[in-house]
Amino acid sequence: MERVLFLSGNEAIAHGALRAGAGFVCGYPGTPSTEIVETAATLDGLHAEWCINEKVAMETAVGASLAGVRSVVTMKHVGLNVAADPFMTLSLTGVNAGLVVVTADDPGMHSSQNEQDNRTYAKFAKVPLLEPADGQECYDFLAEAFALSEEFDTPVLLRTTTRLSHGRGRVVPRVPVEVEPRDYERDMTKYVMVPQHARQRNRLVLQRLQALRDRAEVTPLNVLEAGTVDFGIIAGGVAYTYSREAFPKAWFLKLSMSHPLPYGKVARLYQSVSRVAVVEELDPFLEEQVRALGLPVVGKEALPADGEFDQELVFNALEPYLSRRPPRRRRPVMPPAPRLSAPPAPAPGLPVRPPVLCPGCTHRSVYAVLRRRRLAALGDIGCYTLGALPPLLALDSCLCMGASVGMMAGFNAALGRKAAAAVIGDSTFFHSGVTPLIDAHYNESQGLVLVLDNRTTAMTGHQGHPGTGGRPDGSEGPAVDIETLCAGVGVRCTTVDANDYDALDAAIAGEAETPGLGVVVARAPCILMTRARPGVAVVDEERCNLCGLCLDLGCPALAPGDGAVTVTDQCTGCGLCIEVCRRGALSLAETKAEA
């Protein structure tokens, strides 16, 4: 066995990640979290990256997890606000390889602009929360967190506080965890969070929360420690260490997995003692839950709701309560498990009608190329997310606005090759696709970013954005040019007409085979704005053999007829089916424009 180490909590987390079989650690610096990534960068076997911000870091780690590598993403408490968008929906998608989100809170605001208590994020996102109390637990809990993450298919929030992150102590190294590599398997109902998939995942999240609560009851992470006086303390994290030193004879419910709260263990503490205090820095997170069980407890009326604690503060605050008459014993009122809504029942026997890309949609050509080139495509949020649905089935993920690019960088970094492309619309690119592009350039990520530029924010009803200059009052502001922007970043960028299938195919195929990072802008205005109808497709029934290449485009204007494809009156004459047909069976006929 290696010699005993003397590490800060942050260093212990990095060492613990390596020991737990992690391969990827990223984050954005923020006191008191910074040294985790810095330490990881010194350890053989860990790939460490600084990301441009916490949101991109979260998405990058998600990409690495998706690719099958255990990953850690680190940030300070306020950083999780920046990363909240991917974090909240990550709870729904779950993970592939384990994913641990480290939030470093700062009670006392030694180096922060606010004092928010990020335990609330675990409750908000319905994910398990681990709170180590010392350096050894920082080290050990990484393995616990990865195991929970993979068993329950969830990100795990691991919360430290300043004293833990920057405090130092003995850490005994453990035998490394053997981790089987996980292959990535495309699973749209799990990773593409369009409403019909997300509704199903949300039910699983609620069921998962119940299963995690059952686990919290039996896990050795939550221990009832016997004392010799009629006084019990519920605490986790560094507050446990203060309490233990202040009241060595008390009973303790030490909560290292503090969300979801194990009600049964709380009840058992109350069977052993008549006086109970909750010792927690910042919010009455545990106290409110204990009170909701109908149990008498000493909490924030004695201990401050702001600032840091220490053992003297805890002792002085709680000591007076030991001589008071104990409160009348009460039986806890256990909260019932919440019920789920009835699953939607479709009208029996009727065909479903999910939303689809419009006939003539200028995004369809991109999906035709992606399918032809068999590229994994990490998607984003907009009309083009519909490319994930049958029959196109051309997207691998949809997490949150702007997630595609960071996820692509993490996915490709974890696999060490240009394995996935990002697919992002023009408005979404400006929303939050630019920062991960800069990040990918800075981290020398492999990748192909496809910007589906239909010159509008189409899905919400054709609003303007910085790429078009359009404003809500109809006036035009200065427009940002994507090519110039990419040039400024230093990323090569090719623009093609999205209606020119061959040029698009050549550009995407070329970029997919070129090492490094590149952007392809597929540009053509939304069909609903132009209402372009240059003609209609007509079928040569002699040549058509119903091979299905055009039908695979998922165009509402094409249907398999008897012996040949038929074109419905929804055809806009965009010509994409003509391009993909290998038998020359389709051509464009002029038509008089309809009134």
Are 456 and 529 within 8 A, CB to CB?
A: yes
| Beta carbons within 8 Å of 366's beta carbon, 6+ residues apart | 384, 387, 423, 450, 452, 498, 504, 508, 522
Q: Rounded to whole angstroms, how far apart are CA atoms 154 and 125?
A: 10
Q: Is 349 in the site for other proteins (CB under 8 A)?
A: yes
Among 72, 383, 485, 521, binds other proteins (CB under 8 A): 383
Question: CB 459 → other proteins: shortest distance, Å?
Answer: 6
Among 350, 474, 475, 592, binds other proteins (CB under 8 A): 350
Number of residues near other proteins (by CB under 8 A)? 31
Query: Strand 420-425 to strand 558-560: parallel, antiparallel, or no bridges (unpaired)?
Result: unpaired
State in Å, rounded, how far the first CA of the chain is from the last one: 83
Question: CB 155 → other proteins: shortest distance, Å?
Answer: 25
Q: Rounded to whole angstroms, how far apart are CA atoms 144 and 119?
A: 18
User: What is the CA 126 to chain-centroid distance, rounded?
Assistant: 13
Q: Which is nearer to other proteins, 65 or 457 (CB)?
A: 457
Scanning residues 179 to 198, which ones bind other proteins (CB under 8 A)? Answer: 194-195
Question: CA nearest 298: which of 327, 330, 255, 328?
Answer: 327
3-state secondary structure (DSSP) of residue 210: helix
Q: Is 358 in the site for other proteins (CB under 8 A)?
A: yes
Q: Rounded to whole angstroms, how far apart are CA atoms 554 and 558?
A: 8
Among 220, 336, 351, 515, binds other proteins (CB under 8 A): 351
Q: What is the DSSP letter of 98?
A: -
Most distant CA pair in the chain, distance: 98
Among 460, 484, 514, 545, binds other proteins (CB under 8 A): 460
Scanning residues 529 to 588, which ones bind other proteins (CB under 8 A)? Answer: 551, 554, 556, 558-560, 568, 570
| Beta carbons within 8 Å of 525's beta carbon, 6+ residues apart | 362, 454, 455, 456
Question: CB 490 → other proteins: shortest distance, Å?
Answer: 35
Question: CB 381 → other proteins: shortest distance, Å?
Answer: 9
Q: Which is nearer to other proteins, 53 or 456 (CB)?
A: 456
Beta bridge partners of 209: none
Convert residues 389-408 into a mask of x (bound to other proteins by CB under 8 A) and - (unbound).
-xx-----------------
Are 243 and 250 within 8 A, CB to CB?
A: yes
- Identity (one letter) of the amino acid at 65? S
Question: CB 553 → other proteins: shortest distance, Å?
Answer: 11
Q: Rounded to whole angstroms, how far apart are CA atoms 15 and 301?
A: 39
Residue 410 CB coordination number (10 Å): 37
Convert residues 141-180 into a mask of x (bound to other proteins by CB under 8 A) and - (unbound).
----------------------------------------
Question: CB 351 → other proteins: shortest distance, Å?
Answer: 4
Q: Is 294 in the site for other proteins (CB under 8 A)?
A: no
Query: Which residue carries 């409160």 as its tokens?
Result: 327
Q: Which is nearer to other proteins, 104 or 459 (CB)?
A: 459
Q: Is 354 in the site for other proteins (CB under 8 A)?
A: yes
Q: Is 13 in the site for other proteins (CB under 8 A)?
A: no
Question: CB 82 → other proteins: shortest distance, Å?
Answer: 25
Q: Which is nearer to other proteins, 1 or 352 (CB)?
A: 352
From the list 134-142, 216-224, 353-361, 537-545, the region that binds other proteins by CB under 8 A is: 353-361
Among 176, 304, 355, 477, binds other proteins (CB under 8 A): 355
Q: Which is nearer to other proteins, 525 or 556 (CB)?
A: 556
Question: CB 355 → other proteins: shortest distance, Å?
Answer: 3
Question: CB 91 → other proteins: shortest distance, Å?
Answer: 21
Q: Which is nearer to other proteins, 27 or 360 (CB)?
A: 360
Burial class of 350 by CB neighbour count within 10 A (0 to 12, 13 to 18, 19+): exposed
Q: Is 385 in the site for other proteins (CB under 8 A)?
A: yes
Rg from Cα positions in the chain: 28
Q: Is 1 in the site for other proteins (CB under 8 A)?
A: no
Query: Strand 24-27 to strand 222-225: parallel, antiparallel, or no bridges (unpaired)?
Result: unpaired
SS (H, E, C) 405-468: HHHHHHHHHHHCCCCEEEEEEHHHHHHHCHHHHHHHHHCCCCEEEEEEECCCECCCCCECCCCC
From the list 208-216, 229-237, 288-296, 354-362, the region that binds other proteins by CB under 8 A is: 354-362
Question: CB 467 → other proteins: shortest distance, Å?
Answer: 21
Question: CB 58 → other proteins: shortest distance, Å?
Answer: 24
Q: Which is nearer to other proteins, 1 or 350 (CB)?
A: 350
Q: Which two tokens stand for residue 457?
A: 């924010």
Query: Which residue carries 């000591």 as its tokens?
Result: 319
Query: Strand 251-255 to strand 232-235: parallel, antiparallel, or no bridges (unpaired)?
Result: parallel
Q: Is 506 in the site for other proteins (CB under 8 A)?
A: no
Q: Is 592 in the site for other proteins (CB under 8 A)?
A: no
Q: Rounded to whole angstroms, how far apart are CA atoms 4 and 155?
A: 30
Question: CB 143 → other proteins: shortest distance, Å?
Answer: 40
Are 364 and 576 within 8 A, CB to CB?
A: yes
Question: CB 533 → other proteins: shortest distance, Å?
Answer: 13
Q: Rounded to whole angstroms, how far apart are CA atoms 366 and 185?
A: 22
- Identity (one letter) of the amino acid at 497? D
Q: Is 591 in the site for other proteins (CB under 8 A)?
A: no
Q: Is 356 in the site for other proteins (CB under 8 A)?
A: yes
Contact residues toward other proteins (CB under 8 A) are 194-195, 347, 349-358, 383, 385-386, 390-391, 459-461, 551, 554, 556, 558-560, 568, 570, 594-595
